[in-house]
Amino acid sequence: MTTTASDQDFAAYDLFIDGQSTPSATGRTTERHSPSDGRLVGRYAHADAHDVDRAVTAARRAFDDTDWPTLAAPKRAALLRRVADLLRARTNDIGRRISLELGKPITHARTEVTLTAEVFDYYAALALDQRGELVSQHTPNALGLVVKEPVGVVAMITPWNFPLLLLSWKVAPALAAGCTMVAKPASATPGAALDLALVLRDAGTPDGVYNVVTGSGGEAGTALVEHPGVDKIAFTGSTEVGQSVMAAAAGTVKKVSLELGGKSPNIVFADADLEQAVRGAYWGIFLNSGQACQAGSRLLVQRDIHDDFVAALAQLTRTSRIGDPLDEKTLIGPLVDGKQLDIVLGYIQQGIDHGAHLVAGGKRLGGTFANGFFVEPTIFDHVGTEASISREEIFGPVLSVTAFDTVDDAVRLANDSQYGLAAAVWSRNIDVALHTAKRIRAGTVWVNAYHDAGLPFVMPMGGYKRSGIGRELGREGLEQYYETKSVHVRLGRP
């Protein structure tokens, strides 16, 4: 079935502050055009420092002057479950908004909404199992209580590539912990964050707990990071911007968690299930048109199977269903905007100039795709380890392939990067797979899978090296939104 776009797909949004939609102080707006065909799909309020101050003030009041931070765990869990139910009920509408703004295939966009609902369900369960510690045996006349308390007002700055899911990784645990928040979504895809505001409101979230300011990172984002009323920053984005966020937060010594860039190795040993590994390599890099921080953009293949593996992957790549994101059959959509298109095409040219072997793709699509930002899924083989396409995060559908001989070679190549976000290992030999996984310097390592091995939210996610600070998801993700307090109690004589 093909669902065509219509004038009804245009939407206008205000800011969301203290439980209400409200225009920006200046009345300025920004527009969003579809990356697939250039149509106007959205108009959004453009926040400035005054709007940010209004949002932080609302969040501060909700944290300091209401009972939200101490709400009983069963009530908090029930609210999170209602959020999950409402997200499922609105999957089609929210998914369509994501697809229109980002160009993500509609089936993938709807999946993003349903996965987000699962995140809220997961943290609803964890909300019922929050606990501290008791130190009771250190000395006979004292007790120690280790107490967990919400960190306060959280600034959440999120990227455009998974505009709802990555936001939920912050919002759900923050709600479970009892925090209040101000979300600043990417200016290209703010609709999902504002749609989530309505879901949270309808689920019964008190006014001021969740606020949204939209606009540029340089204006609204900077004002939010520097605001003295913010206790913590949770940021997902590029390493370069993350460094700026960290520096700006230092002025008020805010707590900071950062999920940053990656150049993730995907290692295939000769004894792997090759059909499964080829599919894993394909989706490892080409999911969301390669616009994923965990993308398996460096494919390391053992030399014994290298030629056959690359040939099979190239053949699968040439059959990619590229097209209108609103078409149910589309698997790969456009890049997010013209700037990202130029970046990706520039890296492809660098790969050609540096002598890498182009085995698939490499071109911008024209014809019926000329009004969009479509790039063919691209594979380079025989890529040297010093080439820019092997070392720098491209954030597009460009794969670099390198052959290796031994486990030691694979580990050396995998770790030869400033990043350490994710990796994968494909092998039927469990000893080889786990020994390799243990030696890779990355926050997530999949074995015989990529992106998902069936444990999507119970496992923590985050990076080594320049890929970030802190963890999201799992129990570790909840800990990011707590302060730890020690209470020392001296006991009198009985």
Active-site position among 112, 259, 376, 472:
259
Catalytic residue check, 118: no
Residue 259 annotated as catalytic: yes
For 459, residues 6+ apart whose C-beta sits below 8 A from its C-beta are 444, 473, 474
Positive or negative torsion for Cα 23, 29, 35, 38: positive
What is the CA 411 to chain-centroid distance, rounded? 26
Alpha helix ranges (H) inside 90-105: 91-102
Task: Tell me if 298 sits within 8 A of 390, measured CB to CB.
Answer: yes
Task: Decide if 317 contacts 271 (C-beta within 8 A).
Answer: no
- Is residue 425 within 8 A of residue 381, CB to CB? The reply is no
Exposure string of 72-83, with b = 16+ CB inside 10 Å and e = fewer, is eeeebbbbbbbb
Distance CA 442, CA 418 (A): 11
| CA gap 221, 298 in Å, rounded | 32
Distance CA 162, CA 80 (A): 20
- The catalytically annotated residue of 112, 179, 293, 376 is 293
d(CA 199, CA 205) in angstroms, rounded, equals 9
Rounded Cα gap, residues 357 and 304, in angstroms: 19
Give me the active site residues, please.
259, 293
